[in-house]
A and B are shown apart, each in its own frame.
Chain A
Amino acid sequence: MPWIKREKAEKIKEWFPSIKITQYKDNIFLEIEKKEVKNLLKFLKESPDYSFKMFIDFTCVDYPLHNPRFQGVYILYSPEFKERIGVKTWATDDSLPTITDLWKGAKWAEREAYDMFGIKFEGHENLVRMFMWETYPYFPLRKDFPKEGIKDTYLPSLNEPEGSYPSHDYDPYHTAIPTLEDLEITQKARMPEKKAQIVLNWGPLHPGTHGTIWFIFDLEGETVKNCEIILGQLHRGIEKLSEDITYTQVIPYTDRMDYISAICSNVAYVNAVEKLLDIEVPEKAKWIRTMLCELQRINSHLLWLGTFALDLGALTIFLYTFREREKIMDIIEGIAGIRLNSTYMRIGGVRMDLPEGALDVINHFIKDFPSKIKEYEDILTKNRIWLKRNIGLGIIKEEDVYDYGITGVVARGSGVPYDIRMLDPTDAYDKVDFEIPLGTVGDCYDRYLVRMEEMRQSLEIIKQCVKKLQELKDDKYLATDNPYVLPTLEETFNSIEAMVKDFNLRIYGEQAPEGEIYSSGENPRGELGFYIVSKGEGKPYRLRIRSGAFYNLQIFPELIKGRTVADAVVLLGSLDPVVGETDR
């Protein structure tokens, strides 16, 4: 993504003389004191010269030795000028002004910051925790909170008698876990008043929720009067964990966020790190990445189509899509060695070269797949039941997209051409030819059509990648000349320099220069951004993951009001969140 130009950023000083501009690579951040930050954000949003209308992300960074301790970071996007800007401010007295009146999408981000850092937001309508339960006493992402948690809950073993030597490595004290009362308190806090007849707990474990999302519906008959979402059942604290491991070690964690499109998350992450470390990736690796990303996108959209149709009662489509998904899984397994969480990407390239025959298999798939898409469309696209269930449901307007920071297919379904592949082409996306399908109305049916068309476009991209890769047969796939890049296994075993380099990188990590970077990739669920703050160590000082599904899900309670439970299934399916990514 092109960031705002330095000269243009300097001009903001005319209105706000107190701002400081920091730049790392092309990432430009404005720093301003707390009392001015809201005015600045308002100015950036409303001034016609800048018009940063779209909210991308908000997060905090903890500097325990600095006073004030926490720094808030806002990232905005201007759809008009197609550029990004970052705004930073110090949270004096551990509090910041809320910006939910400027962008509604900041609601959950601010709650998350409160949950993880304990920063208060003045004026926030319901500042409760985002992922943890309400009675949880700590703020996990603070630097003084240990990675392994604080073991304060006495949980004796059921089969180890007390006082005896335990038969295995076992500690009667455990990190805090929520009790039923805690969960009840949490539920009350999230939905303080019951307005209608029954409160229906839809989830956390429910076949319709695609994972462990906990919805609370306040129902009048079957009509939803009020809805709240409790996230956090799959919260694993990936952001916290990655503060203690090297950049390479974070890659497997990115797999486990959006497990349905693991390779896309991999690529988004390694691209961010490569930008931070200034690594030039070999041509071949770029094409392999692009190809696999698109395969993964088809894979993810197939899973979406199957489960979406399953939610609407069409059981058979589910198995039809899994038939094709299985073929892609086999291709990915053949290339990466693992089906689901492949960790195939490496900083500076890919882990292994393409195996012999991989391209032939993909070629076969390319020939075969269009007829299958036609099969799905024959059953669904003009099906009257399908139309009746989808059309007019969950209409997201263009302003909503900017307001809530909605990205990915959901944004494109509403006619907003926001696609990172086009705006900020990484890998080989600037060399391939493809179209971005756009919706017109922004309802569930448009999102369905956009996803179907995207599968076709992905197939086009794969075709071009395969053609190019056939030419690049004997190229390098990993930039091992770069000091930051791990050598291949073969090199490690055959040369002492590579062995030493491997050892150093594995033990001490990639010694990244000091700086901060925000880079994102187009995940099937939306923009997956990584905000990395480096303090010149082998591990990230702070790694913020901007999840597309998290922001897309945020609009759900608004859209479902006045509709029925049956609509909730359809709407949720068309927003297509993956809980691994929303909760991280």
Chain B
Amino acid sequence: MKELILISIGIGIKSLIFIIGMFLLAAYLTLIERKFAGHVQQRPGPLHVGFHGLLQPIADALKVLTKEDIVPNFVDKYLFYLASLMAFVPAIMILAVIPFGEPINIFGYEIKPYISDVNVGLILALAFGSISIYGVIFAGWASNSKYPMIGGLRKAAVLIGYEVALGFALVGPIMLAGTFSLREIVEAQQGFFGAFIWYQPLAFIVFLFSILAETGRTPFDVQEAEAELVAGYNTEYSGMKFGLFPLAEWYIATFVLSAIAVILFFGGWNGPHIFGPISPYIWFLAKLFLVFMFLLWVHWTLPRYRVDQITEIAWKVMLPLTFINIFITAIIVIIKG
């Protein structure tokens, strides 16, 4: 009994740290994105609040929190409130299963840098990711307005296609590792050439496309194509209710999915121990940021697809690719035993 209470307290504290950390990180990811976009576009980005705009995220957060929260009369109030939470909470819940490193010993206590290591971690992450679709669809429906409705429907169409492709893309690494636990998948990739990216390039490409589609980044940002739909499904939102959508979608989801990409394909925290005891964390974060920056790079360079073209790619290109990948992987696994 005492054991259980201690564990719950430990997990509680850990969750709190993770959530607060994620909030701060997401806030500063906005700054990274804005700086990056700025330099891509030959402008300096945020510059005036703090040293090179370092306090800008805090100013933005204060602004968005103190803004008047307008709820239009014609909306379905219950769903309208629920939608922004539905978009945000599942995205942050994926964090529960993501390991950031090996367990370490400090003062005799074993500290695990993850909240839980369930043996179906990957499936849980996928499930949480799927729930966040409801946020978008609810937002589009509850707004009771034409543009959000079209935006929500577009996003639903895109997500259905890419959820399927994403799920099948993950089968390859899982077959190689023989487990659903994210920690064990990392342990299966030892050494530079042990990373699954060398054995699963097709799965990685599909996974990358799926991240772009799931997080609504260009070239797949049809749900909020501002030239067509003003702001897409969150047109009627304001204040922090609005702020949660981009925060969840563009930052937390992108971050978390990048983390999963690193775990599945780049060997997680594996890397030479050149930074002493903290080197696993440094490797993990470095890899994560490389993936994240790659996504930003794509976002700020390419034009966007039309929605029917996106679903076409999902069903006609991505899904067959994953099947081919599973087939090849299965043969290799059988031959190698």
Contacts and interface: CB of A to CB of B under 8 A. Distances in A.
Q: Do A and B bind each other?
A: yes
B41 A564 contact: no
Given A319-B41, A320-B41, A313 B225 contact: yes
Which residue, B146, B147, B221, B228, has most C-beta atoms of chain A within 10 A? B228
B228 A569 contact: yes
A208 interface: yes
B227 interface: yes
B34 to A, nearest CB: 12
Interface residues of A, number: 31
Contacts, number: 82
Contacts of A310: 227
Given A208-B227, A566-B225, A313 B309 contact: no
A206 B307 CA distance: 20
A385 B150 contact: no
Contacts of A566: 222, 225, 228, 306-307
A140 B221 CA distance: 46
A311 B304 CA distance: 9
A385 B302 contact: yes
Nearest to A309: B303
A386 B303 contact: yes
Interface string B292-335: 00000000111111111100000000000000000000000000
Contacts of A194: none
Nearest to B306: A566
A388 B221 CA distance: 16
B239 interface: no
B329 to A, nearest CB: 28
A311 B227 contact: yes
A379 B301 contact: yes
Interface in B210-260: 218-219, 221-222, 225-230
B235 to A, nearest CB: 11
Interface residues of B, number: 29
A465 B40 CA distance: 35
A385 B305 contact: yes
B105 interface: no
B42 A320 contact: yes
A172 interface: no
Contacts of B147: 200
Contacts of A567: 306
A313 B40 contact: no
A235 B309 CA distance: 38
Contact of B219 (A201, A208, A222, A385): A385
A225 to B, nearest CB: 15
A207 to B, nearest CB: 6
Interface in A371-390: 379-380, 383, 385-386, 388-389
A222 B229 CA distance: 12
Contacts of A564: 306-308
A430 B225 CA distance: 45
B228 A565 contact: yes
B156 to A, nearest CB: 13
Interface of B: 37, 40-43, 146-147, 150, 154, 218-219, 221-222, 225-230, 300-309
30 contacts: A198-B146, A200-B146, A200-B150, A206-B230, A207-B226, A207-B227, A208-B227, A222-B150, A313-B218, A313-B227, A313-B303, A313-B304, A314-B218, A314-B304, A315-B37, A319-B43, A320-B42, A323-B42, A380-B303, A383-B302, A385-B303, A389-B303, A389-B309, A564-B306, A564-B307, A564-B308, A565-B150, A566-B306, A567-B306, A569-B227
Interface of A: 198, 200-201, 206-208, 222, 309-316, 319-320, 323, 379-380, 383, 385-386, 388-389, 564-569
